[in-house]
Structure 1
Amino acid sequence: MRLGFVGTGVITEAIVTGLLKVGAQFEHIALSNRSAKKAAQLAAKDKRISVCESNQAVLDQSDVVCLAIIPQIAHEVIAELKFQPSHRVISFVAGMNMDELRRAMPEVDNIVRAIPLPATADALGATTLYPQDKIASELFSQIGVAVEVENEHQFDCISAATATMASFYAVLESQAQWLVQQGLAYDKARAFLAGYSQGLAHGTNSGAPFTELIDHCMTPGGINEQVHHELTKRGNYEQYQEALTRVLDRIEGRA
């Protein structure tokens, strides 16, 4: 595989790092020089990785082209590029739907949308794909879990769910601050909560429904049940879903 990245930001760095980490087989990776320092650092890690002088040079050296650019400049950058029908394009551009992508690249036969996340650097996490595509699935399955959805609405819903990253860490910070208030040093609170969270995440590998995991953690009359029931009674989980619905409305242009 000859893989190219137009845009060399956090996600490109994570994907390339993950591919190297797992020893993925590829012929060549071409990087744009938009973030020259980061691109050079990645290229220094493997002789099969090179930094190109232009975005067009990335395309010319690649079979699979990943668009890792921010939405504000996406149309401008794509308009300057000359794609070939043989190119397979994987777009990470948030909010740019399939109709827009096809209009922007009418000569390209195969276009896939993807939501890769920073955890791919450690071959962890999940990358959502639409439409289903064997090459993209094989690529991202090497550095985590590839989740292929059935339609663009489902893709948008998962995109909305990724808006919970900051709130996930905010919940941990809230717990850390509570522990500090009880007299625990912050570094010890953080160390405990980091390990605790990793342990809970490991439990998801069983494949069991989350409802089953919830029940498994609760002893009747126990402290887990107490907190869960109190948060449920106050509507905390419902508020979470309401916030996600508002994000989805924004993504799909209803807000």
Structure 2
Amino acid sequence: MRLGFIGTGVITKAIVTGLIRSSWSFDRIFLSPRNAATAAELAALDPRVQTCASNQEVLDSSDVVCIAVVPQIVADVLRELHFEARHHVISFVPGTPVEELNRLLRPARKLARAVPLPAVADGKGCTAIYPPDEVARSLFSALGKAVEVESEHQFDALHAVTATMASFYAVLEAQASWLTQQGLPYKSARAFLSGYSVGLAHETTRTGQSFPQMIDYLMTPGGLNEQVHAELSSRGAYGHYANALDRVLARIQGRT
């Protein structure tokens, strides 16, 4: 398989790095020249990775084409390109629905949207895919886990949830800051919380329990976990997530 990338930013770098490290079979990877430094860095990792002189050369050389540009320029970039019916396209562009992409990509007939995250570089994490697509599923299953959904609204909702990455780290920083107030060096607080978080995340992958079941399992009646959970719940801390995500989803879907 010959895989091409239009756009050579953080996500392209993560995917190509992950593919090189994985057992997923590909013949060549072709990169657009937009970010020359990143393209050169990736090309140096594996002789099968090549930087092209133009985006059109990426298309002409590839069977599967990944679109990895920002939404502000996607229409302009795609209108300049000549796709063929043989092209299988995977778009990473947020907020650009399948219907609009199909108009821009004609006569290409195969299209899927995906939301890969930087952890794919290490074969970790999960990538949302819509519509279900065999090529995208195979690619991202090799880079962690792939979750296919049946509607674009569901896909947009999963995309919205990825907006919690910064707030996830902010919660850890709040705990680290509290630990430093108790006299711990920040480096020690960070190391502890990093390992602690990895352990909690790992538990979600080794059990089929729902999150409420996991919450109940960890809360001894009258215990410390129950105390913190009850206090945060009574203050509506968790409810703020749904409100924030509603606004993110509206933005993704162009309703604001």
TM-score calculated relative to the size of structure 2 = 0.98
Matches within 5 A, 1:65-144: 65-144=65-144
Following the alignment from structure 1 to structure 2, what is the Cα–Cα distance between the partners of residues 106 and 83?
6
Please name the residue that 1:146 is paired with: 146
Following the alignment from structure 2 to structure 1, what is the Cα–Cα distance between the partners of residues 106 and 67?
15
Q: CA deviation at 1:212?
A: 1.2
Q: Deviations over 1:6-44 (max 9, x none)?
A: 011000010011111123210000001111011111011
Instruction: Tell me the secondary structure at the aligned position of residue 238 of structure 2.
Output: helix
Following the alignment from structure 1 to structure 2, what is the Cα–Cα distance between the partners of residues 24 and 152?
27
Following the alignment from structure 2 to structure 1, what is the Cα–Cα distance between the partners of residues 167 and 234?
20
| Counterpart check, 1:248 vs 2:246 | no
Q: CA deviation at 1:160?
A: 0.6
Supply the AA of the counterpart residue of 1:220.
P
Following the alignment from structure 2 to structure 1, what is the Cα–Cα distance between the partners of residues 110 and 243?
35
Following the alignment from structure 1 to structure 2, what is the Cα–Cα distance between the partners of residues 72 and 252?
14
Please name the residue that 2:167 is paired with: 167
Please name the residue that 1:190 is paired with: 190
Instruction: Tell me the secondary structure at the aligned position of residue 135 of structure 1.
Output: helix
Following the alignment from structure 1 to structure 2, what is the Cα–Cα distance between the partners of residues 14 and 253?
28
Q: CA deviation at 1:211?
A: 1.0
Following the alignment from structure 1 to structure 2, what is the Cα–Cα distance between the partners of residues 246 and 37?
36
Q: CA deviation at 1:253?
A: 2.1
Q: CA deviation at 1:186?
A: 0.2
Q: CA deviation at 1:217?
A: 1.1
Following the alignment from structure 1 to structure 2, what is the Cα–Cα distance between the partners of residues 181 and 249?
39
Q: Deviations over 1:102-128 (max 9, x none)?
A: 111121101111100000001000110
Please name the residue that 2:217 is paired with: 216
Instruction: Tell me the secondary structure at the aligned position of residue 119 of structure 2.
Output: helix
Supply the AA of the counterpart residue of 1:246.
R
Q: CA deviation at 1:215?
A: 1.1
Instruction: Tell me the secondary structure at the aligned position of residue 72 of structure 1.
Output: coil
Please name the residue that 2:64 is paired with: 64
Following the alignment from structure 1 to structure 2, what is the Cα–Cα distance between the partners of residues 253 and 79?
21
Please name the residue that 1:226 is paired with: 227
Instruction: Tell me the secondary structure at the aligned position of residue 93 of structure 2.
Output: coil
Please tell me whether the aligned partners of residues 84 and 106 of structure 2 are also in contact (alpha carbons under 8 angstroms). Answer: no
Supply the AA of the counterpart residue of 2:244.
A
Supply the AA of the counterpart residue of 2:136.
A
Q: CA deviation at 1:254?
A: 2.0
Q: CA deviation at 1:77?
A: 0.5
Q: Deviations over 1:156-207 (max 9, x none)?
A: 1001101000000000000000001111100000000000000000001122
Supply the AA of the counterpart residue of 2:142.
Q
Please tell me whether the aligned partners of residues 63 and 87 of structure 2 are also in contact (alpha carbons under 8 angstroms). Answer: yes
Please name the residue that 1:20 is paired with: 20
RMSD: 0.7
Instruction: Tell me the secondary structure at the aligned position of residue 73 of structure 2.
Output: helix
Following the alignment from structure 2 to structure 1, what is the Cα–Cα distance between the partners of residues 121 and 97?
26
Supply the AA of the counterpart residue of 2:130.
Y
For structure 1, the residue ranges without an aligned partner over 5 or more in a row are none
Instruction: Tell me the secondary structure at the aligned position of residue 90 of structure 2.
Output: strand
Report sequence identity in percent: 60
Q: Deviations over 1:115-165 (max 9, x none)?
A: 000000010001100001111100110001110001000001001101000
| Number of residue equivalences | 255
Following the alignment from structure 1 to structure 2, what is the Cα–Cα distance between the partners of residues 82 and 129?
25
Range with greater deviation from structure 2 (243-252 or 172-181): 243-252
